[in-house]
Amino acid sequence: MTPAVANCTMHCVFCWRTQPDDIGVNWNETRRMAWDGPEQIVEGCIKAQQRILSGYKAQTHIDKKKHAESLVPKHVAISLAGEPTLYPMLGGLVSLFHKKGMTTFIVSNGTIPKALEGLEREPTQLYISVCSPDEKTFRETCRPQIPSAWQKLNQTLELLRSFKCPTVLRLTLVRNHNLKNPKGYGKLIEKANPIYVEPKAFFYVGYSRIRLTYEDMPTYDEIKKFAKQLSDETGYKVIDESADSRVLLLSRLEKAIRLA
């Protein structure tokens, strides 16, 4: 789910979602003038989950117990679209989800460090997208829409060390764009000291096809090779991988933390 929908501080070239530029909308037209409250969002998410599963009730071949369990969601991914830290009541939203017995993970582009610093409750897990090894590549690949976005991302990376929940740096890698300079990424990883690093391939899907080509999509072997270079730079080791998803998981841990 997302509390921000079309609102984002960056227009990354690899994003599969619709961006204002794709449909001729000005950045300023996407700014929200009013926000829904956390209670309304949480209840809306639960109702939407139940609505999209309602059609299964009439099916005779499904597992009735599993269907009943699916109507009571237990995990919330605050990551679907937009930049969730733009939502001014994010901490209250996380707290309310937790009060209902759900886990939460937030995926952020890290350009609003004050929002993360001011959370009244940490999520179950926090992802920060780090998709450039240097400021020049950042401007070309992530196309920030706010001033000093690179500096703000670096502030977030420094802040990450203070979080008690598992933290992840997610690297979405695009051939001919940001699949380069493992040493630069290594310095950012060292600054943040995350529990995990997740290098993954850009996929040529959705609206990214307007901005990139099929040839910009790295192979799994390319991502695996780059993960090895990151490992050499940082000391993080590969602890899991998925060839189909073209992603590897690096950590200093022997195995991933299991979250309830």
Percent of the chain with pLDDT over 90: 73
In the block, residue with structure tokens 């695996």: 224
Mean pLDDT of the region 244-251: 96
pLDDT of 214 over the 70 cut: yes
Confidence bin at 43 (pLDDT 50/70/90)? very high
What does the DSSP 8-state code read for residue 144? B
Show the DSSP H helices in the chain as ranges: 38-53, 64-70, 90-99, 113-117, 135-141, 149-160, 182-192, 208-211, 220-234
CATH superfamily for domain 20-46+74-251: Aldolase class I (3.20.20.70)
Mean pLDDT of the region 171-180: 96
pLDDT the model gives residue 33: 67
pLDDT of 84 over the 90 cut: yes
CB 107 within 8 A of CB 127: yes
pLDDT the model gives residue 56: 80
Give the Cβ contact number of residue 18 at 10 Å.
14
Question: How many whole angstroms separate alpha carbon 180 and alpha carbon 48?
Answer: 41
User: How does pLDDT run across 112-121, given as a tens digit for each residue?
Assistant: 999 999 898 9
Confidence bin at 40 (pLDDT 50/70/90)? very high
pLDDT of 19 over the 80 cut: no
pLDDT the model gives residue 254: 86
| Whole-prediction pTM | 0.89
In the block, residue with structure tokens 């309310």: 96
pLDDT of 30 over the 70 cut: no
pLDDT the model gives residue 236: 96
204: three-class secondary structure by DSSP: coil
196: three-class secondary structure by DSSP: strand
CB burial readout 104-121, b (16+ within 10 A) else e: bbbbbbbbbbebbeebeb
What are the structure tokens assigned to 35, written together? 């926000």
User: How does pLDDT run across 131-152, given as a tens digit for each residue?
Assistant: 999 999 999 999 999 999 999 9
Mean pLDDT of the region 93-105: 94
Question: How many whole angstroms separate alpha carbon 62 and alpha carbon 72?
Answer: 17
Confidence bin at 31 (pLDDT 50/70/90)? low
Question: How many whole angstroms separate alpha carbon 132 and alpha carbon 150?
Answer: 10
Please tell me the total number of residues recorded for the chain in this structure. 260
CB 236 within 8 A of CB 249: no
